[in-house]
Amino acid sequence: MKQTLFIKQLSEYFVVYLPLNKKCSKNTIASYADGFVAFFQFYKEEKNTEHYRIEYTDITLQSVDEFVLWMQNKKKYSAASQKQRISALSSFLKYASRREMRALRAFNAVSQTQTPKIPRTYFSHFSLEEIKIMLNSPKCTGKSGYRDVTLLSLLYDSGARAQELCDILIGDINLAKTSCVRLHGKGNKARKIPISSDVAKLIKKYLDEREKSFTLNRNEPLFSSQRSDKITTACIRNLVSNYVADSKEKRPDLFNEKGYSPHSFRHSKSLHMLEAGVPLIYIRNFLGHESVQTTEIYLRISQNSVAKILGERKIENPIPKVEAHPVSEKGNLPDFLKNAR
């Protein structure tokens, strides 16, 4: 299949420049890849043009404006999502414009594009009662049911970002007396997070169900899609959306905020910890936040202290009880984008 110069240089950008020259983390590269997945989808749906036929000359101020309107009106992307996708396109064209003059005009077009301002918003979160309802919504039957309840419970219990949850391998789980999970966060930085005994039991039961079908190894993703691929953030967003809708149907008086997402679990966990009296400094470490203030290095507490403080605080546990020992959307995309995601 003949490819345009645009696609050839985009491939070099994802395969060589971002991981090797810029040493970007996998999460950063995946975020850029999501931007181009949307861009290619726009060209296919609105201009009947496959990705491998896109030229630099196709990227004009008008076409980029149309792309923004498509994201707003048809895809209903948030202002932040629109900016992220335009930023991904702009970053690549800046790289390409240093190597190909035809890319310079496209870069200038993207640079002039107006995207909506990101409003200061109140982040949606769940009350403790809503979390209990959500986590008891999945039916614990079959591999899929155990996966969903385990995924949502770990999402809340660990305060993990959606991408961090996708990246968890079976070997990152330590089911010991004090169970924990290793999360791979932004900037390729890993942290160990203690998990409750109830979540540990859920994970064990879920892995037992999976092992009925095939032998597991520690390098496999902890959570997989129905096609046995590594689960994606889009899949997690769909799961959260479906279970919020299901829970809202059961309790119409609850779940009244807008824009629930996987990140709402993270916000909820941090707020519930704060309400339980956990000092903010421990919460910051638990969530894996980094400070730009050099002096704050003296405030950082070891992860062992985080585990200790969580064990001492009496935080009500909404995780469903289980017995200890009970009997992509990828579509037609170039390979370098599939691998980047």
Tens-place pLDDT, residues 208-217: 888 877 777 8
Looking at residue 172, its amino acid is D
Query: Which DSSP helix (H) or strand (E) runs through 29?
Result: helix 26-47
Burial of 187 (0-12, 13-18, 19+ CB in 10 A): exposed
pLDDT score of 209: 84
Tens-place pLDDT, residues 306-328: 555 566 556 677 777 766 554 44
pLDDT score of 311: 62
Long-range contact pairs involving 244-253 (C-beta distance under 8 Å, separation at least 24):
244/134, 246/137, 247/130, 247/133, 247/134, 247/137, 250/133, 250/137, 251/130, 251/133
**For residue 133, what pLDDT band results from cuts at 50, 70 and 90?**
very high
Specify the residue for token string 């046995």.
228
Global model pTM greater than 0.75 = no
- Residues paired with 221 in a beta bridge: 169
Q: What distance in Å separates the CA atoms of residue 201 and residue 105, rounded to the nearest whole number?
A: 57
Q: What distance in Å separates the CA atoms of residue 156 and residue 159, rounded to the nearest whole number?
A: 5
pLDDT score of 299: 33
pLDDT score of 68: 92
Average pLDDT over residues 282-306: 50
Per-residue pLDDT at 107 exceeds 70: yes
Alpha helix (H) ranges present in 189-341? Answer: 197-211, 233-250, 262-275, 280-287, 303-312, 335-340
Per-residue pLDDT at 249 exceeds 50: yes
For the chain, what is the mean pLDDT?
Answer: 82
Per-residue pLDDT at 42 exceeds 60: yes
Pick the range with the lowest mean pLDDT from 12-21, 124-133, 186-195. 186-195
Average pLDDT over residues 45-64: 92
Per-residue pLDDT at 302 exceeds 80: no
pLDDT score of 225: 77
Question: Which range is most confident: 76-80, 190-194, 224-228?
Answer: 190-194
**For residue 46, what pLDDT band results from cuts at 50, 70 and 90?**
very high
pLDDT score of 97: 92
**For residue 293, what pLDDT band results from cuts at 50, 70 and 90?**
very low
Which of residues 132 and 142 earns the better pLDDT score? Answer: 132
